Amino acid sequence: MKKFLYTLLVLLLIGLLTAYLILFTEWGNKIIASYIEKKINPNEHYLSVKTFKLRFNSLDFEAQANDDSTLILKGDFSLLKQSVNLNYHIDIKNLHSFKEWIPYPLRGAIVTSGNIKGHRKALIVQGVSNVAQSHTAYNALLDDFKLSHLSLNAKDANLEDLLYLLNRPAYASARVSLQADFNSLKPLEGHLILTANNALINNALINQIFHLNLKDTLVFNLSHSSDFKGNKAISDTTLTSPLVNFTALKSEYLFSVLKLNAPYTLEIPNLAKLQNMINHPLKGSLTLKGDIEQSPKLLKVNGHSNLLDGALDFTLLNKDLKARFSNISTLKALDLFHYPKFFQSIADANLDYDLISKQGVLKANLKNARFLKNAFSDFLYSISQFDITKEIYSDANLVSQINQQRLLSDLNLKSPKTQLKIRNGLLDLNTKQMDMLMDAEILKFIFKMKLQGSMHQPKFSLILNEKAIQQNLQQGLKEILKNDTLKKGLDHLLKDDKLKEKLEKGLKGLF
């Protein structure tokens, strides 16, 4: 019996000695350090343990990654009580290197330091960081080394650095405040609030992404909140500025596929402020409502607006814009673009436009169209004694080929008494110049008409070629011959060749 007890005691002493040698000696610490490296680096060697000194009541630990990121732990440590009071310092050179442990594809550098205190079932972590050049404080509670709560308060963070950290483009620059509470990091569960005042839009980037032409300084205020649960974020975003107000409520972001779905409302109270963006003056206001879908290879925006007494529906797919205008007032459209109000109709139109090449096609059907009194109608009256403003065109259509700021248009207008046609009529929106040739027939009077010069004050000129003169002469004779008395007189005159020749010359002179 004594021999058994002696043997048991010897084995116990050997076990304690072995445990001591492994846990609390330099030789044993090297074995533990090697084990830690293998556990962290199952496939490739990424992290090296530079220092590992474990004593009965203390721990000194330092690890370094291949990219020179470092982790330092130093302080009180009791293996028997499983309690710690450690100070730490973490310097991560690139968060992307830790993608296996972080569910969201972060990037950039971060430095943080603080204290870990407590025991296995309740570890309290308190620290500070300069993430995104901010003043950040955070508190975390771990249960059995698993995060049960994290609260974070960041002040004066640089928005550009923060967006870079979140793997997003630098849409704007600002100092922002951020508050967050999380109950889990994997999967990400919690709530976040972000605010930014007097933020400055990055014109170059916004122009590149959305194919705009922002020039003026644009300042805005931003309010954003997100709830994270089930590998997605449900967010509310409000942006206000002197130029535009934007709201996206209940938008959804899926981390697994990096996809955003956001219902939005866009309000532009004063369209005149867009002049420097689109190089053209506008009037009035605009409200758009629709949905945004964005992923790494897709940008899809659709929207609806009630405007110009009608409706606009559009879809933007990356660079391709398709828009449909329904029952809009052309008179109000002319007023919107500061063009002369010379024409009135109800229009249905379809626009296909490439935002990169700035080329496209506009096709429009014009209902109940008529000309208003202006220089054009006055000119037509002067040459035909016909008031074109009284004509209603039920059959009218327009097709315009758009190339940058130049439009080549075909226009067809037909009424019981008139017919007007334009082929490849040029309208230059940049120079505000026009050059068009119109084929016209008014009361069977056939002629061509040139429209040239400024869009606001074009010059009109009448063109009568030999064919038009002959057609008008024949039509005039037909009208004359409808009168029996005149017909008999002409028959008598036309028997004399000399009188016939003089009559023909006289009639041609009328035209």
- Residue 315, phi-psi category: left (phi > 0), alpha (psi -120 to 50), beta (remainder): beta
Q: What is the pLDDT confidence band of residue 7, given thresholds at 50, 70 and 90?
A: very low
Backbone angles phi, psi at 487, to 5 degrees: -65, -45
Residues facing 343 on adjacent strands: 371
313 neighbors 280 (Cβ within 8 angstroms): no
pLDDT for 288-319, tens place per residue?
999 999 888 889 999 999 999 999 999 999 88
176 by Cβ neighbours in 10 Å (0-12 / 13-18 / 19+) ranks as buried
User: How far are the Cα atoms of 79, 107, 243 from residue 93, in angstroms, in the given order?
Assistant: 31, 9, 39
Please indicate whether residue 14 or residue 193 has the higher confidence score (pLDDT). Answer: 193
Mean pLDDT of 243-261: 90
CB 367 within 8 A of CB 343: no
Mean pLDDT of the chain: 80
Q: What is the crossing angle of helices 2-24 and 26-40, to 10°?
A: 70
Of 20 and 241, which is predicted with more confidence? 241
Describe the crossing of helices 466-481 and 497-509 by its angle, rounded to 10 degrees.
110
Burial class (CB within 10 angstroms; exposed 0-12, middle 13-18, buried 19+) of 235: buried
Q: What is the pLDDT of residues 468-502, one digit of tens each?
A: 444 544 454 454 445 454 445 545 544 555 545 55
> Distance (Å, rounded) from C-alpha 11 to C-alpha 34?
26
Q: DSSP characters for 133-177?
A: G-EEEEEEEEETTEEEEEEEEEEEEEHHHHHHHTT----EE-EEE
Of 253 and 145, the structure prediction assigns the larger pLDDT to 253
When pLDDT is cut at 50, 70 and 90, the band that residue 97 belongs to is confident
Say yes or no to pLDDT of 8 above 50: no
pTM over 0.75: no
Q: Percent of the chain beyond pLDDT 90?
A: 32
Span of 35-44, 53-62, 198-207, 424-433 with lowest mean pLDDT = 35-44
- Tokens for 347? 């229009």
- pLDDT at position 484 is 53
Provide the β-strand partners of residue 468. none
Q: And the tokens for 75?
A: 């302080």
Q: How many CA atoms lie within 13 A of 242 on its CB side?
A: 11
CA 314 centroid distance within chain: 13
Contacts of residue 65, defined as CB under 8 A and 6 or more positions apart, other chains included, come to 46, 47, 48, 93, 97
pLDDT band at 508 (very low <50, low <70, confident <90, very high): very low
Q: Is the pLDDT of residue 159 over 60?
A: yes
Q: Is the pLDDT of residue 53 over 80?
A: no
The whole-number pLDDT of residue 437 equals 92
Backbone dihedral angles phi then psi of residue 195, each to the nearest 5 degrees: -130, 145
Query: Can you tell me which residue has the tokens 């130093």?
Result: 74
**What pLDDT score does 34 carry?**
57
Q: Are the C-beta atoms of residues 224 and 210 closer than 8 Å to each other? A: no
Pairing verdict, β 110-119 and 83-92: antiparallel
Contact 304, 320 (CB under 8 A): no
**The predicted structure's pLDDT at residue 175:** 92
> Could you tell me what percent of the chain has a pLDDT over 70?
79
Nearest residue to 160 via CA among 145, 175, 146:
175
Q: 230 pLDDT band (50/70/90 cuts)?
A: confident
User: Look-up: residue for tokens 């490296």?
Assistant: 37
DSSP 121: T
The DSSP element (H or E) to which 67 belongs, if any, is none
pLDDT of 58 above 60: yes
Q: Which two tokens stand for residue 26?
A: 């330099």
pLDDT digits (tens, 9 = 90+) for 192-215: 999 999 999 898 888 887 777 788
Angle at the Cα of 213 (from 211 to 216), degrees rounded to 5? 140
Per-residue pLDDT tens digits for 344-356 = 999 999 999 998 8
Please state, in angstroms and rounded to a whole number, the distance separating the CA atoms of residues 75 and 57: 8
Q: How large is the average pLDDT for residues 314-327?
A: 93
Q: What is the pLDDT of residue 19?
A: 44
Tell me what pLDDT residue 9 has.
Answer: 45
Q: Say if residues 237 and 251 touch (Cβ distance below 8 Å).
A: yes
| Section 330-336 average pLDDT | 90
Using alpha carbons, list the distances in angstroms from residue 476 to 415, 443, 470, 502.
Answer: 21, 11, 10, 16
Report pLDDT for 462: 82
Q: Which amino acid is located at 461 in the chain?
A: S
pLDDT at 274: 82
